[in-house]
Amino acid sequence: MATGKNKNQTSLVLHKVIMVGSGGVGKSALTLQFMYDEFVEDYEPTKADSYRKKVVLDGEDVQIDILDTAGQEDYAAIRDNYFRSGEGFLLVFSITELESFTATSEFREQILRVKEEEAIPLLVVGNKSDLEDRRQVTADDAAKKAGEWGVQYVETSAKTRANVDKVFFDLMREVRKKKMSEIKDKNGPSGRKKKKHCRIL
């Protein structure tokens, strides 16, 4: 019985998500809120932590693997390994800290360089939306930057749980969409050939 259960568990589709952003923006708080429905205010990991959870995505049982980077990856090789292993990225900044918003551009550049492609499942996340009175980054500015990158911008609060599930599930949908299109590309050379035959030269 148990073996069957384990077999079933390992056969679930796995989506690998990487939390990226400056230190102190709430990456860990978002992760722990999503994983355990708990708000941990001052959790500052000194190293990357990995979490795995079974969830239902649009009616399908899947597993999400979340790598919560510490935001202090001084060694480029370690950071690059993290990015290489990821299928989707939550690029997090704090709406109360302009510097963390500015840093998102550099983080995105690093991801693009490591992945060596443009179409990477990624969401820009403005965390700490409960601290509106301390806001330094407008929603319009953040949405504009995300729009330039062709990705979604969502504001979250790890404290109130606002949009926490949304960012993880929306990112998993993006990852799934990319996987499906890659499978199509692999399996569909005949489709492309047919198109070639139809070309008027």
Distance CA 152, CA 45 (A): 27
Smallest CA-to-CA distance from 152 within 163, 136, 161 is with 163
pLDDT for the residue 186 = 79
Please report the pLDDT score of residue 197 as a whole number. Answer: 45
Q: Which residues in the chain land under pLDDT 50?
A: 1-7, 191-201
Q: Where are the domains of the chain?
A: 2-198
User: What tokens appear for 124 in the block?
Assistant: 């820009």
Please give the Cα distance from 78 to 21 (Å, whole number). Answer: 15
* pLDDT value of position 46: 67
Q: Whole-model pTM? A: 0.86
- Each residue of 89-115: pLDDT tens digit? 999 999 999 999 999 999 999 999 999
Q: How far apart are CA 69 and CA 54, in angstroms?
A: 21
CATH code at 2-198: 3.40.50.300
Sheet holding 88-94: strands in order across? 49-57, 60-68, 13-21, 88-94, 122-127, 152-155
What is the model's pLDDT at position 1? 44
What gap in Å lies between CA 168 and CA 137, rounded to an integer? 22
pLDDT score recorded for residue 70:
78
